[in-house]
Amino acid sequence: MTTSQASSSESAAFDRLDPCIKRWIWKSGWTELREAQERAIPLILDARRDVIIAASTATGKTEAAFFPILTRLAGLQPGGVALYISPLKALINDQWRRLAELTDLLGIPLTPWHGDISQSQKTRFLKKPEGCLLITPESLEAMLMRHGHGLGGLLAGLQYVVVDELHAFMGSERGKQLQSLLHRVEKPVGRFVCRVGLSATLGDMKGAADFLRPGKAGDVVLVDAKEGGQELRVLVKGVVEPDAPPGLKPDSDETPDGPAELAVVNHLFQVLRGSNNLVFPNSRIAVEFYSDRLRRRCEDERVPNEFWPHHGNLSKDIREETEVALKQKERPASAICTSTLELGIDIGSVTSIVQIGPPPSVASLRQRLGRSGRRKGEPAILRCFAIERQLTAKSGLSDQLREGMVQTVAMIRLLVAGWYEPLSVEGLHASTLVQQLLSVMVQHGGLQAGEAWALLCENGPFAGVSKRHFLSLLRKLGEEEVIFQDATGLLLLAPNGERITQHYSFYAAFSSDEEYRIVTSGCTLGSMPVNRPLVPGSFLIFAGRRWRVLSVSQEDLVIEVTAAAGGSLPGFTGGMAAVLHDRVREEMREILRTTTPVPFLDESGLNLLREARENYARLGLDRQWIRQVGNQTQILLWKGDRINDTLLLLLLAQGFRGLNEGLCVSLDGTTPDQVREALQKIAAADPIEPEALARSVKNKFREKWDHLLPEDLLDASFASSYLDLPGVRKVLEMAMEGE
């Protein structure tokens, strides 16, 4: 991967554009091109190397890509094709509106393609494939399956592939699907096709390059446009909840209606009315609570409602109603939303971003903050609410160290420093291999096992899957009557395979998080999504209590538990809901162990931070990383959840019982000496195979087609995405050397 240098002449890029585009730029009142545009236009026009454009929101990434692409297509008419791939239908609609005037001037067809687009528009492109095709991965999957035999002719004129919101695909099964689709699209074309990635949030540029062009990251050019100068205003308000059972857990059935949450409602009503804002409370049920309470406040005060809900479980009509409310200029509107409004849907500029509780990640916070202060001269405004419990004699470590608030402060400090999480591209995502194997079989009407291996694994995006694992997968799919092999060796769909591929849901590589039913003594306690690895003897927190896991049925989505004694439950369970990065917990420790001022905390927040720092010092946590609390032993490595989860599994394999609580790994009924001895064994033992450790996990079904994987490939796929054995060994060695 190389980084492009700034243009030596302000007009160098502009001079190379099509005359119609130049006139459009002048007519639009632009006095100059933005940095990203100046640097990207020559690279994309030359089309000899792939390009990633990383720039903050509202810095003209779309134009940086499409000004040169449309210039090239205009010179190739008829027959030139550019493929634009978006993670959202709504984003496709926005880009269609954004590009329509320009493509009309150039006489270049612009075709949006997704489930809401008429068949006549799609047929027009199929009959005469040219211009810009705006499509989602799922619709592209369907196109390949239905028109695969004619793909070489259909995309013969393909010049560019643009991937918008590149970060939204990385590290996921949908991203693996996209990599496979790009490979399958380019193969019949028979030549290099320039790929252009667009993103506002890329923590690992090399990883992004390797994702865009697997195995050839060194050939990708990065345009990292750091157009700065924007003022950032941040305020974190500490809100103390009276001592009570734990508050809202992500996606639980609990309603967040305590005094602290009502205080947040009152503050939001006072400061947000009269302007457009986005409020992120971290869960769907919290979105419903805050939007309902704020709407009722408007009714009580007899003023027009300005607060609208937006999350994935709402109908399309309700979501669009909120989006329209944000776009129109006549009346102010604030959306109470989940991550559904994180990506680049056009809702205009908002005055401020509100975060209730810690954001899921620094990258997510950066993406959200990019919505604020988009007009020239306006600051970006971030308001955060840290809800903490009143300390008592029974308060646990999380409450004593004000985990939720300190995590929020850490993420803001990392954001200001320009750091955000790199997205892993190392996961096998073998679930998606199942989908892609069945898809190419439909596309080609069947194919030899060797051909499938070469296309998808040997020379494709699933290079991490060994031939042994691939053959094991074929046998498993045969046993499940998904595929069969005829007398000539051709792989064909069996009845179950035909049923699977003929259903519209097949085109999506991902599915929504499944919820496990929590059962004790035959009584159902409720349900919740579970993203921590579970084995018998591990613990989970649900309905304000600690439970020991007796058994897990991932086929029936049932977890059998029994009530467990234990210390005070953490008031903040962020470690149970989101997978936190090592760097965030390291920054949290740095905040606690120093006296560095945090200027963006209000008075209550400063008091909470003072308490946390005093408790950190009183507990001796700068020196002590294994500590006894009642009948529990806590291990504090100050690392992320992959390391904590892996360490817990290693300890469970030795007969311990415990839980990853986020700040610490907590073990029941043991002593520090016993734990230290076990950790020394782990650090000194020969490295264990990740698949062997994954074998003990009882809830490995995380992705859509995991249930069709053979056990050995399922173990390997799970380990590649969720375990970090080298990281555990390294951190244990460092901790023991420091004693």
In a domain, 115, yes or no: yes
Report residue 715 CA to chain centroid gap.
22
- Is residue 697 predicted with pLDDT exceeding 80? yes
Residues 321 and 379 in one domain: yes
Position 614 scores a pLDDT of: 98
Q: Residues in the chain, how many?
A: 739
At residue 248 the predicted structure's pLDDT band, cuts being 50, 70 and 90, is very low
Q: What is the pLDDT of residue 28?
A: 87
User: Is residue 597 domain-resident?
Assistant: no
The average pLDDT across 455-476 equals: 95
| Digit-coded pLDDT (tens) for 405-460 | 999 999 999 999 989 888 777 899 999 999 999 999 999 999 999 999 999 999 89
Residues of the chain above pLDDT 70, percent: 93
Residues 9 and 118 in one domain: yes
Residues 155 and 46 in one domain: yes
Question: Which of 665-670's residues contact partners 24+ apart within 8 Å by CB, and which partners?
Answer: 665/634, 665/635, 665/637, 666/539, 666/566, 666/632, 666/633, 666/634, 666/635, 667/632, 667/633, 667/634, 667/635, 668/539, 668/564, 668/566, 668/631, 668/632, 669/631, 669/632, 670/631, 670/632, 670/633
Please tell me whether residues 182 and 203 are part of one structural domain. yes
The answer on 355 and 296 residing in a single domain is: yes
Residue 19 scores a pLDDT above 90: yes
Q: For 711-726, what is each residue's pLDDT tens digit?
A: 999 999 999 999 999 9
Which CATH number goes with the domain that contains 275?
3.40.50.300
Instruction: Establish if 238 belongs to a structural domain.
Output: yes
Over 70: is that where the pLDDT of 637 sits? yes
**Which of 38-52, 242-256, 322-336, 517-531 is the most confident on average?**
38-52
Together in a domain, 345 and 243: yes
Per-residue confidence (pLDDT) for residue 77, from 0 to 100: 67
Average pLDDT, the chain: 89
Domain assignment present for 395: no
Distance of CA 591 to the CA centre of its chain: 26
State residue 246's pLDDT score: 45
Q: Is residue 492 part of a domain?
A: no
Going 712 to 717 to 721 to 725, the CA torsion angle's sign is: positive
Residues 50 and 144 in one domain: yes
pLDDT band with cut points at 50, 70 and 90 for residue 221: very high
Domain boundary among 225, 252, 272: 225
Q: Please tell me the predicted confidence (pLDDT) of residue 326.
A: 87
Residue 577 has pLDDT above 70, yes or no: no
Q: Inform me whether the pLDDT recorded for 158 exceeds 80.
A: yes
pLDDT at 568: 60
Lowest mean pLDDT among 150-164, 306-320, 645-659: 306-320
Residues of 98-137 as b/e, b for ≥16 C-beta within 10 angstroms?
Answer: ebeebbebbebbbbbbbeebeeeebeebeeebbbbbbbbb
Residue 23 has pLDDT above 70, yes or no: yes
- Residue 285 shares a structural domain with residue 172: no
pLDDT band, very low/low/confident/very high, at 228 (cuts 50, 70, 90): low
What is the distance between the alpha carbons of residues 636 and 626, in angstroms, rounded to a whole number? 6
Tell me what pLDDT residue 576 has. 45
Confidence class for position 11, pLDDT limits 50, 70, 90: low
Q: Residue 270 belongs to what domain range?
A: 232-390
Q: How many CB atoms lie within 10 A of CB 551?
A: 13
- pLDDT above 80: residue 344: no
pLDDT of residue 727: 95
Residues 217 and 198 in one domain: yes
Q: What per-residue confidence (pLDDT) applies to 438?
A: 98
Three-class secondary structure of residue 348 per DSSP: coil
- Report whether pLDDT(282) > 90: no
Domain identity same for 57 and 79: yes
pLDDT for residue 575: 44
- Asked if the bond preceding 358 is cis, omega within 30° of 0, the reply is no
**350 and 209, same domain (yes or no):** no
Residue 603 lies in a domain: no
Per-residue pLDDT band for 255 (boundaries 50, 70, 90) equals: low
Vertex 174: Cα angle to 172 and 179 (nearest 5) = 100
Strands 221-225 and 2-3: parallel
Q: Tens of pLDDT along 160-203? A: 999 999 988 998 999 999 999 999 999 988 899 999 999 877 76
Rounded CA-CA distance 469/719 in Å is 14
Q: How many beta carbons lie within 10 A of that of residue 302, not counting itself?
A: 6
Q: Which of 12-26, 310-324, 376-390, 590-604 has the lowest mean pLDDT?
A: 310-324
Q: With a cut of 80, say whether residue 125 has pLDDT above it.
A: yes
Q: pLDDT tens across 40-92, in order?
A: 999 999 999 999 998 876 678 899 999 999 999 998 767 899 999 999 888 89
pLDDT of residue 4: 66
Distance of CA 298 to the CA centre of its chain: 34
Locus of tokens 């679930």: 431
Find where tokens 């020969």 sit.
686
Residue that is last in its domain, among 359, 375, 390: 390
Give me the helices (H) in 273-311, please. 284-300
676 inside domain: no
* Two structure tokens written together for 199: 């993103």
Indicate whether 97 and 124 sit together in one domain: yes
Of 390, 416, 443, the residue that ends a domain is: 390
Tens digit of each residue's pLDDT (9 = 90 or more) over 556-567: 999 999 998 765
Residue with tokens 């008829």: 78
In a domain, 126, yes or no: yes
Considering only 228-232, 310-314, 631-635, 689-693, which range has the smallest mean pLDDT? 228-232
CB 214 within 8 A of CB 180: no
Among the listed ranges 71-75, 224-228, 636-640, which one has the minimum average pLDDT value? 224-228
How many domains is the chain built from? Answer: 2
